[in-house]
């Protein structure tokens, strides 16, 4: 693979996950299974398939399972060897040797902006990708990964890139919404971003989906950012001060796994795309349709 202009990725995964209580009392939402993989494995795979060589995961209290997941499990490998299960053995090895994964702990959950500040030394003045650890993206057929599409835009505009998508009016209050001028199809020069506005005050219906390519000047802007919405240091408040970032409508589907319904939808849709499950699951879903009609 050709060396990418963006070599590093930050995956913030330290949030408390209050929207997914009670399951997040004792386990990270980033480790929730979607079909047969934890959410964060999809995120790491997206980074790697985009040419990223170095990944920093921001973890926190109660998130040890994430580190264990990407570690080598000697006991498990021994067992798989004994069972002569070479397919599972190779799959397991592949997970533990995925990329150079580093970890840093965010000791207090002071917001996404604060989590990203923990990556300053690691990024060493290079542009970097941010992939939220509770968000899965699946590229449209024939398209590159979401992060790869963003790196392509970064190479063209040399500005920070924020992935956006059209959000339904009633969901606007849950997103950072951009105000911008369309430069070309699906590409906006951003004038402002408003964190979780009321629909009547929103400048557009284009909301940030949890994928960014950022230039290192974001760190100084984050240091100057006071707690905002929810009394947390919001990445959006620092992004507002960047010099004309670009909003990119990426060609992908996106699931917010931090949201209970988002997680359920992702599990069903991605299961339907797997040959070994599709037929039976579809038949099962059809029986639910029948009982709904009968009710
Ligand atoms: P969310 O906005 O979903 O916040 O974080 P949250 O605290 O995890 O979840 P809720 O809203 O209480 O349910 C988006 C991403 O940023 C990370 C989360 O782990 C998630 O991947 N995050 C958030 C941090 O790493 N640190 C924080 O202080 C907040």
- For the domain that residue 142 is a member of, what is the CATH number? 3.90.550.10
Same domain, yes or no: 12 and 75? yes
Domain span at residue 292? 259-295
Counting ligand 1 atoms within 8 A of each CB, the residue from 11, 15, 38, 61 with the most, and so the one to mutate, is 15
User: How far, in Å, from the CA of 17 to the mean position of ligand 1?
Assistant: 6
**Do 285 and 227 belong to one domain?**
no
For 252, counting Cβ atoms within 10 Å of its Cβ (0-12 exposed, 13-18 middle, 19+ buried), the class is buried
Same domain, yes or no: 113 and 165: yes
CA of 181 to the centre of ligand 1 (A): 29
Classify residue 2: in a domain, yes or no: no
How far does residue 30's CA lie from ligand 1's centre (Å)?
A: 10
- The Cα–Cα gap between 56 and 88 comes to 26
Number of domains in the chain: 2
Residues 160 and 128 in one domain: yes
Atom number, ligand 1, closest to the C-alpha of residue 132: 21
Tell which wins on pLDDT, 5 or 84. Answer: 5
Residue 82 confidence class, pLDDT cut points 50, 70, 90: confident
Q: Does pLDDT of 88 surpass 90?
A: no
pLDDT attached to residue 67: 92
DSSP structure class, residue 175: S
pLDDT in tens, 109-150: 999 999 999 999 999 999 999 999 999 999 999 999 999 999
In the reported structure, the alpha carbon of residue 3 is separated from the centroid of ligand 1 by a whole-number distance in angstroms of 31
DSSP per-residue string spanning 210-244: EEEEE-TTHHHHHHTPPP-GGGS--HHHHHTTSSS
Q: How far is the centre of ligand 1, averaged over its atoms, from the C-alpha of 259 (Å)?
A: 11
Answer yes or no: is pLDDT of 97 > 80: no
75 with 185, same domain: the answer is: yes
Is pLDDT larger for residue 160 or for residue 81?
Answer: 160
The answer on pLDDT for 162 being more than 90 is: yes
Is 239 inside a domain boundary?
A: yes
Confidence of residue 226 (pLDDT cuts 50, 70, 90): very high
From 108, 112, 114, 137, the mutation candidate for ligand 1 (largest count of ligand atoms within 8 A of CB) is: 112
Determine the distance separating the centroid of ligand 1 and the alpha carbon of 2, expressed in angstroms: 33
Of the candidates 18, 9, 19, the one whose C-alpha atom is nearest the C-alpha of residue 40 is 9
* Domain assignment present for 133: yes
This prediction has a pTM of 0.92
What confidence score (pLDDT) does residue 294 get? 55
Beta strands in the chain (DSSP E): 8-12, 33-34, 37-38, 54-59, 100-105, 128-131, 135-139, 161-166, 176-184, 187-195, 206-214, 246-249, 252-256
Region 28-50: what's the mean pLDDT?
Answer: 95
Grade residue 98 by pLDDT with cuts at 50, 70 and 90. confident
Domain match, 137 and 228 both: yes
User: Same structural domain for residues 42 and 176?
Assistant: yes
pLDDT at 295 over 70: no
- Asked if 246 and 280 sit in the same domain, the reply is no
Domain identity same for 228 and 272: no
Q: What is the model's pLDDT at position 80?
A: 75
Categorize the per-residue pLDDT at 284 as very low, low, confident or very high, splitting at 50, 70 and 90: very high
d(CA 102, CA 189): 33
Residue nearest to atom 8 of ligand 1 (CA): 15
Asked if the model's pLDDT at residue 290 lies above 80, the reply is no
The atom of ligand 1 lying closest to the CA of 21 is: 13
Model confidence band, residue 74 (pLDDT cutoffs 50, 70, 90)? confident
The residue ranking higher by pLDDT, 88 or 2, is: 88
CA-CA distances (angstroms) from residue 94 to 73, 86, 127? 12, 12, 27
- Is 1 inside any structural domain? no
235: in domain: yes
In a domain, 271, yes or no: yes
62: left (phi over 0), alpha (psi -120 to 50) or beta: left
Looking at the structure, do residues 148 and 268 belong to the same domain, yes or no?
Answer: no
Report pLDDT for 72.
76
Query: What pLDDT score was predicted for residue 135?
Result: 96
Looking at the domain assignment, is residue 33 inside a domain? Answer: yes
Whether 272 and 232 share a structural domain: no
Whether the pLDDT of residue 93 is over 80: the answer is no
Q: What is the pLDDT of residue 293?
A: 58
Instruction: Answer yes or no: is pLDDT of 173 > 80.
Output: yes
Instruction: Determine the residue of 18, 256, 258, 260 to mutate for testing ligand 1's pocket, defined as the one with the most ligand atoms within 8 A of the Cβ atom.
Output: 258
Q: What is the mean pLDDT of residues 228-252?
A: 92
Kindly give the distance from the C-alpha atom of residue 145 to the centroid of ligand 1, in angstroms, as a whole number: 23
Specify the ligand 1 atom closest to the Cα of 135. 21
**Pair (177, 246) in one structural domain:** yes
**What is the pLDDT, as a whole number, of residue 100?**
80
């Amino acid at each position: 693979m050709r060396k990418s202009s963006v070599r590093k990725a930050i995956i913030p995964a330290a949030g408390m996950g209050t929207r997914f209580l009670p399951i997040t009392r004792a386990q990270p939402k980033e480790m929730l299974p979607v079909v047969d993989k934890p959410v964060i494995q999809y995120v790491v795979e997206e980074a790697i398939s985009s040419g990223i060589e170095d990944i920093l995961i921001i973890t926190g209290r109660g998130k040890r399972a994430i580190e264990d997941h990407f570690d080598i499990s000697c006991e498990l490998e021994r067992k798989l060897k004994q069972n002569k299960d070479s397919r599972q053995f190779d799959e397991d090895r592949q997970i533990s040797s995925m990329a150079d994964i580093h970890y840093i702990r965010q000791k207090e959950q002071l917001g996404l902006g604060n989590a990203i500040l923990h990556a300053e030394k690691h990024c060493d003045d290079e542009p970097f990708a941010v992939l939220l650890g509770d968000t899965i993206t699946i590229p449209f057929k024939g398209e590159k990964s979401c992060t790869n599409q963003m790196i392509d835009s970064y190479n063209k505009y040399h500005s920070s890139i924020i992935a956006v998508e059209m959000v339904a009016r009633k969901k606007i209050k849950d997103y950072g919404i951009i105000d911008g001028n369309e430069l070309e199809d699906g590409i906006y020069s951003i004038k402002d971003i408003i964190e979780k506005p009321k629909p009547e005050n929103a400048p557009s219906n284009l909301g940030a989906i949890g994928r960014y390519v950022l230039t290192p000047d974001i760190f100084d802007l984050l240091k100057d950012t006071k707690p905002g919405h929810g009394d947390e240091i919001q990445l959006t408040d620092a992004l507002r001060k960047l010099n004309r970032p670009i909003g990119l409508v990426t060609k992908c589907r996106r699931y917010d796994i931090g949201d209970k319904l988002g997680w359920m939808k992702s599990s069903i849709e991605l299961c339907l795309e797997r040959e070994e499950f599709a037929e039976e699951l579809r038949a099962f879903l059809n029986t639910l349709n029948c009982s709904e009609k009968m009710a």
